[in-house]
Structure 1
């Protein structure tokens, strides 16, 4: 029965004992000696008690109470270290409805890890796990995904994780960076063109839509798509058909759509700079990539992972005081800024040890004082942007309130403000 599942699977008793495993489980997590009656929580987490008694959600306990399938994102011990795993617990009953066993399906989240390793995304904070949980949920579907978040938060990596979680992972993930493209260039890049379509078109060129057939099309910075081109993009998404520039032939492409932006599309819709119908078409399943300020506890893991990836030949290590200094900094550029800072440290380091003083030196390189003219310009600009920033903040808080309508404490924690400030900013009644 277990071999019928296309993912790692185990058979577990109601007393948390692993009774059997399938080959995919053995290949992914290693062989389990079922004859010794091991408990699932001991194998997966190294716990001596069930997960819900160790401060985590337990899908088996939840399935016992509900009587139906339960699902949770866990960090499991694997031969490669700690990894994020999407766990589904399926209760198996006899003909009389009595509970017999549980089938536990374990699906590792691609590119993600809860510890230092050769992975793309690393972390274990609540904000990071919420994002991974949504990625895991939507990955196996064909639903359009809209990735929202500040620049440098890893939206492209999230898009790759979604693609690798899907049934389309054997096909291409095709990326189009929409920022800075003119109308004609955007259309040519997306749909392709035929020879002679315009000056310089000396041969037929396939567009990215064609290349994404059967796979995933990732439109990065979708908020920068020219307004005049948004109607053609909408037509593509609704019909799955398009025409190359200069061609009358209608072609089709079957792709999964993922979009990303650091802009507030809701505000752009109200301002008339982004089509409302296109917004609803791409905003099927929104996922917010958290800023580094929302996952400060992940900085030690992130820093070590980034160093691991950028220095394969020479292994660099951070002292505890250096890590502490990093956690005290406000990374407005998010993970991209952290990566640049660490790269600078590896260049300046005399040994393979990066200490607090070196981190301070790296920070000092960014402390360039603005000229008087720059300061005056900044003051003038800030007055004009104040209203826009306030509107964006209000919209963001309203989105969080819609997601967690009964939990204002959680909304305040995610936003990085106090509950009192939340009431004040949204003019809520206590």
Structure 2
């Protein structure tokens, strides 16, 4: 054991670090860096020797070469975790292996450092690992409370949602970029905020911006900020969201709606954690975790030339797919109880089995957000009876049949006419769901459906569908 003394004071109570590396040059660089920081540290020449030392003494951080002759990195990490959950493992590597990196993340690796590295890079990484260790100690005391918060915000018992829960818990511990994919209303922003709140950045800022809501130039100014005099009206320098979220998390909602030009600038931030303000010339470094979301198939957008392939692969390091409500209908009764209990004034409102049956038949194009609105509306309508029945539900849900086509729908019809009726039924239902999802906004609906506005208006006129009916 190397015991470091600084300004005449023994550092016996300082953090302990274990270094596992057989290369003399690398070992000397690590030892020098740790001495300069005043840390206590031990060395081990192999994975087995390191595990033996860990069994006899607690180490806050292990810095280890990723290629060890006596044990693979995944197995080594698993054994470390069995002995001590508190110990943070940092791997040193001189090659990039995405598959191995993802495996190590799943097993709980803290981070890795690519060789050759600078002393300052190692010092910063060790410092963060030690801070996370302190947060872990504090978190252990309130583990049930944290789990309670998690369960309170995301509701579901289906297999699909259990998989999502498991992924969130694992990736929250890392600092890598996350891509959340799912339809509108599935709770992507909520999941992003939970990842932030379960991470070591939880006491720092969480900011979000809807990329689809702003024009390209305005979005660039909001994200990166601008220098004084960058354009007419820029009377002072403005800090952008990347700077405002320093040490925290920035959530880029609907990133698929950004232009290729802006995507190139986002790529620089994702890759190098640096950007240039509008009207500026100097790169600005930033320490922020990036979480992005989309309701589109990004891979298809790449194939169509609407999204940069390099940015897609940078974002898609840790993907999460949030299933639509129609694919996890067993969660609907649970969500109903949750919305009523959390509403406060409607916590004592009940719902009849027949009303639940109506809700289970519906396909929920607006997902969880639509279900919440329907339940709270029904709770208001049920009044003093304090019980929701089918009559309190919207007509389009209440009168929905189990099948899209009743038994008599095609009765005695020739093929061509039956097909025509089926197409018309599909078009009508598609338009209704589309306008509901976009709250009657025809421009947004036409963009999502990839139809021209005149053609969409023509179809709406054909089926007597009015946009204003979907605006409230």
Range into which the TM-score falls when normalised by the shorter chain = 0.5 to 0.7
- Normalised by the size of structure 1, how large is the TM-score? 0.58
Equivalent in 303, 319, 335 of residue 286 of structure 1: 319
Q: Is 1:353 aligned with 2:387?
A: yes
Distance across 2 between alignment mates of 1:149 and 1:222: 12
Structure 1 residue 314 displacement after superposition: 6.1
Determine which structure has more spread, i.e. the larger CA radius of gyration: 2
What is the match of residue 179 of structure 1? 212
Distance across 2 between alignment mates of 1:67 and 1:247: 49
Structure 1 residue 315 displacement after superposition: 3.6
Mapping of 1:205-284 within 5 angstroms? 205-284=238-317
Structure 1 residue 237 displacement after superposition: 1.4
Structure 1 residue 242 displacement after superposition: 1.3
Equivalent in 196, 199, 204 of residue 166 of structure 1: 199
Note if contact 2:358-2:397 (Cα within 8 Å) is conserved in structure 1. no
Distance across 2 between alignment mates of 1:267 and 1:313: 43
Q: Which moved more, 1:267-276 or 1:238-247?
A: 238-247
Q: State the secondary structure of the residue aligned to 2:363.
A: coil
Distance across 2 between alignment mates of 1:243 and 1:190: 10
What is the match of residue 183 of structure 2? 150
Mapping of 1:47-126 within 5 angstroms? 108-109=146-147, 111-113=149-151, 119-126=152-159
Residues 108-159 of structure 1: CA distance to partner in whole angstroms, max 9, x if unpaired?
Answer: 546432xxxxx32111111110000000010111111111111111111111
Structure 1 residue 168 displacement after superposition: 0.4
Q: State the secondary structure of the residue aligned to 1:266.
A: helix
Q: State the secondary structure of the residue aligned to 2:202.
A: coil
Q: State the secondary structure of the residue aligned to 1:130.
A: helix
Distance across 2 between alignment mates of 1:153 and 1:253: 30
Two-structure CA RMSD over aligned residues (Å): 3.4
Q: State the secondary structure of the residue aligned to 1:336.
A: helix
Distance across 1 between alignment mates of 2:328 and 2:271: 37
Q: State the secondary structure of the residue aligned to 1:128.
A: helix
Mapping of 1:36-47 within 5 angstroms? none
Q: Is 1:298 aligned with 2:306?
A: no
Mapping of 1:274-423 within 5 angstroms? 274-312=307-345, 315-351=348-384, 352-359=386-393, 361=395, 363=397, 378=427
Structure 1 residue 340 displacement after superposition: 1.6
Distance across 1 between alignment mates of 2:170 and 2:187: 18
Q: State the secondary structure of the residue aligned to 1:140.
A: coil
Paired positions, count: 277
Q: Which has the higher strand share?
A: 1
Structure 1 residue 249 displacement after superposition: 3.2
Q: Which moved more, 1:217-226 or 1:352-361?
A: 352-361
Unaligned runs of 5+ in 2: 1-14, 16-77, 83-106, 108-139, 402-423, 432-447, 450-472
Distance across 2 between alignment mates of 1:69 and 1:184: 48
Residues 41-95 of structure 1: CA distance to partner in whole angstroms, max 9, x if unpaired?
Answer: xxxxxxxxxxxxxxxxxxxxxxxxx99968xxxxxxxxxxxxxxxxx9xxxxxxx
Note if contact 1:192-1:208 (Cα within 8 Å) is conserved in structure 2. yes
Distance across 2 between alignment mates of 1:251 and 1:363: 52
Structure 1 residue 377 displacement after superposition: 12
Q: State the secondary structure of the residue aligned to 1:298.
A: helix
Note if contact 2:252-2:292 (Cα within 8 Å) is conserved in structure 1. yes
Note if contact 1:345-1:362 (Cα within 8 Å) is conserved in structure 2. no
Note if contact 1:109-1:136 (Cα within 8 Å) is conserved in structure 2. no
Residue 145 and residue 67 in structure 1: after superposition, are their counterparts in 2 closer, same or farther (change >3 A)? Answer: closer
Residues 188-234 of structure 1: CA distance to partner in whole angstroms, max 9, x if unpaired?
Answer: 01001123322232333210000111011111101111111111110
Q: Is 1:133 aligned with 2:171?
A: no
